[in-house]
Amino acid sequence: MVSYGKPGITRCGSLELEWGKRTYVMGIVNATPDSFSGDGLGFDVHAALEQALRFEAEGADIIDVGGESTRPGYTIVDADEEIRRVVPVIQLLASRLTIPISVDTYKYAVAREALAVGAAMINDVWGLKQDTALADLAAKEGVPIILMHNQKGTSYTDLIPEVMTSLQISLGQALESGVPYGNVILDPGLGFGKAPEHNLEILRRLQEFKRLDMPILVGTSRKSAIGLVLDLPVEERLEGTAATVALSIANGSDIVRVHDVKAMTRVSRMSDAIVRGWSG
């Protein structure tokens, strides 16, 4: 078992993430034409800036910029195309935002170019399973890296132990590459390589992931499991997302990754007041 300290602090650009003090909100900016959530901005960098500035004003702590959709049946794009999508956005956002920017990619070349123009965090949806060199990059640049559980297919013998073991392997790879404990964040990967019932079970048993003694990010925003449970299209999943965010905080999440920043910041603050305490 590893320890990042209690409460522990991770520096991300100008932001100090004080784990255990409160829940941090990561706002999603999709520089894609085909986001599952219907908010893909394509190559409109000014729309991306407008959205990011609004998210900052609404309480986001970090902006996560991605250039490849991960929706079911998504089309893989090569690194050059992904760079063409995300680098201009990150460069513009870095010049205007006071909060840090994360790059959502599992490709070394994309992450390298994103960090060069102002990104301060790597969000790897494959947890180093596609490219272990991302850990080398994070170590060299001294930036935090989010390692998410993902797999091809949705077959499990024992869901929670298998996901936790996979995350421990990813963590070990990062540490071997020289990434400090304090710069690793783990994500159980809701909606990735999992059936809807798996996603619900992970949320229900999220507290078990605290055994890893690492900060946990949870991304449930507008996910298909919410749509299936409530029988609602993606644009009507706000309340379902709010329920998952509140319960994930109650069960130990440290960061929530969301599309609806204003509403989920309020949900997070109320949940924190109950879970972590409130002094008025």
Tell me the catalytic residues.
Answer: 223, 257
Parallel/antiparallel/unpaired status of strands 15-18 and 9-12? antiparallel
Cα torsion angle, 240, 225, 207, 22, sign: negative
Inter-CA distances, 68 with 7, 106, 180, Å? 34, 10, 28
Residues 68 and 71: their CA atoms lie apart, in Å, by 9
Q: What is the CA radius of gyration of the chain?
A: 17
CB distance 150 to 109 below 8 Å: no
Residues 229 and 219: their CA atoms lie apart, in Å, by 17
CB distance 49 to 88 below 8 Å: no
Tell me which residue has tokens 């130990």.
252
Q: Which 3 state secondary structure label does DSSP give 271? A: helix
